[in-house]
Structure formats: structure tokens, C-alpha cells
Amino acid sequence: MNTLIAIGAGIAVLGALGAGIGIGIATGKAAEAIARQPEAEGKINKTLILGCALAEATAIYGFVIALMVIVMLK
């Protein structure tokens, strides 16, 4: 049983994959944008951080679910 729970939690954390890809794309685009328009750096940074925080939520959901799986099923 414990093994299954661990596997389930691990699968739930796979959601972090999406967040990683998302943040990577966002950061790449932000770098492009800053290269194109260095004067807008502050605004771009703000948007980027916000976007990262939102994209990170996916990973966080995975994490929370993994934690719930562990806590609830134990």
C-alpha cells in the first residue's frame, strides 16, 4: 500500500513538468522582449514574475495533491 501511495504522489508531482515548460517559455519570451525593447524592462519583469507565479500554480497543485495523497491515504 505504501508503495502505491508513494507512486501516486510521484505521479501527482509530475504536474510540475508543465510549470517548468511554461516558465521556460515565458522567460525565453521575456528575454526576447527585453532584447527588443530594453526600455520596457521593468514592465516585462513584472509581467514575467506574475506569469511565473501563475504558471507555478500548476506545479503547486501537483504538490498539494501529492501531499494530500500521502496524508489522506496513510
Partner 1 sequence: MLNVSFWNLAIVIVNLLVLYIAMRIFLFKPVQKIIAERQEEADRQFEEAAESKSQAENMKAQYEQSLADAENEKKQVLKEARKSADVEYQRILKDAENAARQVKQDAVAEAENQKAQIIKKAEKEIADMVVDAAVKVVGEKSGAETDSALYSKFLDKAGDES
Partner 2 sequence: MEDLAKNLMEELECETVFTIPVFGGIDISESVVVTWIIMAVLILAAILLTRNMKIDHISRRQAVAELIVTKLTGMVEGMIGPEGKTYVPYLTTVLLYIGVSNIIGLFGFKSPTKDLTVTIALAVMSIVLVEAAGIYHLGVKKWLHKFVEPVAIVTPINILEVFTRPLSLCMRLFGNVLGAFVIMELIKMVVPFGVPAVFSMYFDIFDGLLQAYVFVFLTSLYINEAIE
Q: Which residues bind partner 2 (CB under 8 A)?
A: 49-50, 53-54, 56-57, 60-61, 63-64, 67, 71
**Is there binding between residue 73 and partner 1 (CB under 8 A)?**
no
Rounded distance, CA 66 to CA 16, Å?
Answer: 11
Minimum separation from the CB atom of position 72 to partner 2 (A):
13
Q: Which entry of partner 2, partner 1, none binds 49, CB below 5 to 8 A by partner kind?
A: partner 2
Residue the block writes with cell 504536474: 15
Of residues 31-70, those binding partner 1 (CB under 8 A): 68
Rounded distance, CA 8 to CA 62, Å?
Answer: 11
Q: Is 42 left (phi over 0), alpha (psi -120 to 50) or beta?
A: alpha
